[in-house]
Structures are given as structure tokens and as C-alpha cells.
Amino acid sequence: MATDNGSFLWEQDSILSRGMVSATSVQLCYENLNGSCIRNPYSPGPCLILYAIFGFGAVLAVCGNLLVIMSILHFRQLHSPANFLVASLACADFLVGLTVMPFGTVRSVESCWYFGDSYCKVHSCFDVSFSSSSIFHLCFISVDRYIAVSDPLIYPTRFTASVSGKCITFCWLLSIIYSFSLLYTGANEAGLEDLVTALTCVGGCQLAVNQSWVFINFLLFFTPTLVMITVYTKIFFIAKQQAQRIERMSDQTAKASDSYKDRVAKRERKAAKTLGIAVAAFLLSWLPYFIDSIIDALLGFITPTYVYEILVWIVYFNSAMNPLIYAFFYPWFRKAIRLIVTGRILRENSSATNLFPE
């Protein structure tokens, strides 16, 4: 969004986020309060459609990721360092669906913030924290898959539960400390005091981020992204080399140890492929938003409001995508879902169920 002093609005909820309206059709977020933000609602038809779409995304993010978390934590067969990373990633996406998307739905559709000034800042912190956490988790997951594919027999001794726990702790602590310290110290508003004062009204929830922090946010996204792209490129070439080697081997003369190693490598490549698809979906969802933020910072913040809203909701919907990817590619996840939704996980010793009958 363009302003005279080159500021960037992370969230937009006031008259500036909806455009100017004529004086005869002005509606306020709070009709009886002085200083209320101007409300510019959709007509009933589009309003219902948007509520249905955004609400479905929130429900899918909450329920889908909750199923991932329950599956990994309940079934002992899924208790592995790599899966604990996946469960922690699902927790971040679950929290986006629970604490960010429902309130964002009302904000986007009604063009007003009805949840108080205090929760406005908390909501913004949750948004930044959980999104950053997802980026860091996917980065560590990509490194984990690289180790598993490059040397599958040594992998269990290198990526242990302790290492996984340290990665998870790093992801959460860094993202939470960064977002809360940035927003509660007011560092993001440095140099934008006049703009913040001008935009302040009852029923608004704007987050002003100066140009410097726009670039810092981009670097926090770009650095893990570069790691993920590099690692998955290496995984692709390693998998190709392994496949060519297996084709050249004679099944009759191959040693048992080689045969076992090939089976393990095949399993790890399949897992890397599935998680690579999740990473690709994440990048496709987030890249447009961050590219737009950088272009805006360089050109004076010219992105139309409706385009920005679309980019933000594409990012939000990414939190609902991973469970769908797992359900499509992982038979064990589909079986786990059946056991959970039918209540069979309440049976005695259900945690010992074999999810890999093959």
C-alpha cells in the first residue's frame, strides 16, 4: 500500500485498506463511537461466499493438522526424530488455523477489527511467529531428508531425537522472540510515527512496518528458502544416481547388505519426495507475497488492496495444504485417519497398530 513516507502495512483494516467511500454511504465499525474506522462491507452474496471459503480454510487447517499431530504422537511406529519435526510443523500450521485465520476472516470480510486493541497486536505476533516457525521447520526438514537420502544407514545415528528436539526448540524460540520483540518494542514503527497516528481509529488493526524491516523479513524468508532449494536439488541428483546404480546391479549377485541399503534408500527417497512437494507448495504460496513486499518497498508500495488480500490468504491457506499432501502420498496417514475418526484409537494397545503392513 502506498503512502507518502514509504511505509508498509502488514495488515490493513481501515478506510485506507478498502478505499474511499462517498460521504452519503459511510458506515462505521462502531456507529456510536467517535473516531471509529470507516466500514466498507461487501454485499450479502459475496460476503457469504468469502465467509464460506475462509471458514473452510480455517477448519481444514485446524482439523487436518490436528490429525497429523495425533497420528504421530499416538502411534508408536511413527515415533521418529523426523516425524517429530513434522508434528511440530503441523502444530505451527494448526495454530495459524486456530488463532490467526478466524479473526483474519472477520477482518478481511467486514473491513473492521472487533476483537480489541490488545488482541490486535497479539494476533499480529501470532501471525508472524507461526509463519516464521513454519519456514524454519521446513528448512530443518529439508536438511534431515538430505542426510537420510545421502547416507541412509548412518542417518539414524546422526539425526537423533536429541538433535530433532534442538531443531524444534530453535524454530519456536527464534520465531517467537523475533516477532514479539519486534512488535512490542515498536521497532517496526520507527520513523512512521506520523503515519501510525493518522491511521489510528477504533476498529482498525494496522501493523506498520518500515522499509528496513520489510527487507529483514524478506531475508528471514529468503535464507531458509535458499537452503531448501539447494538441499532438494542435491537430493534430486543423489536419488537419480542411486536409481541408476540400482538398475545396473544384478539381483542375483547383489549382496544382502546392498539389497537392504537399497530398500532403505528407496524409502528415504520417497519420504524426501513427499516432503519436497510440501516445501514446493510452501514456496509457491509464500513467494508471491514476499516478492510483492520487496517490489512495493522499492516502488513506493503500489499494490492494490484486493491484490494484497489475495496474497495474504494464499499464505494462510498453505497451512491447510500439508495434511492434504500427506493424505495423498502416505498410505500410513490415511490408515491413521481412519483409526482416529472411527474411534478405534481408544481401544487398548491401539498405539501399537502396524501402519506399514507391506
Q: Give residue 13's pLDDT.
A: 38
Nearest CA among 350, 341, 332 for reference residue 78: 332
Query: Domain 8-245+255-344 carries which CATH code?
Result: 1.20.1070.10
Question: Per residue in 226-264, is it b (16+ CB within 10 Å) or e — as a string?
Answer: ebbeebbeebeebbeebeeebeeeeeeeeeeeeeebbee
- Give the number of other Cβ atoms within 10 Å of residue 170's Cβ: 14
Nearest CA among 56, 74, 5, 15 for reference residue 347: 74
Phi, psi of 7 (to 5 degrees): -90, 165
Q: Give residue 202's pLDDT.
A: 85
In order along its 358 residues, the chain shows pLDDT tens digits of 333 333 333 333 333 333 334 444 678 888 888 888 888 888 889 999 999 999 999 999 999 999 999 999 999 999 999 999 999 999 999 999 999 999 999 999 988 899 988 899 899 999 999 989 998 999 999 899 888 888 888 888 889 999 999 999 999 999 999 999 888 887 766 766 676 676 778 888 877 777 778 888 888 888 998 998 898 888 888 877 766 666 666 554 445 445 555 565 566 666 667 777 888 888 889 889 888 888 876 776 677 777 888 899 999 999 999 888 887 888 888 899 999 999 999 888 899 998 886 5
Nearest CA among 20, 12, 21 for reference residue 201: 12
Q: Is 143 exposed, middle or buried (0-12, 13-18, 19+ CB in 10 A)?
A: middle
User: Scanning the structure block, which residue is given the C-alpha cell 503392513?
Assistant: 357
Q: How far apart are CA 179 and CA 182, in angstroms?
A: 5
Q: Give residue 261's pLDDT.
A: 56
Query: Do 293 and 128 form a contact (C-beta atoms < 8 A)?
Result: no
Residue 142 half-sphere exposure, CB side, CA atoms within 13 Å? 26
The full set of domain ranges for the chain reads 8-245+255-344
Q: How far apart are CA 242 and CA 32, in angstroms?
A: 70
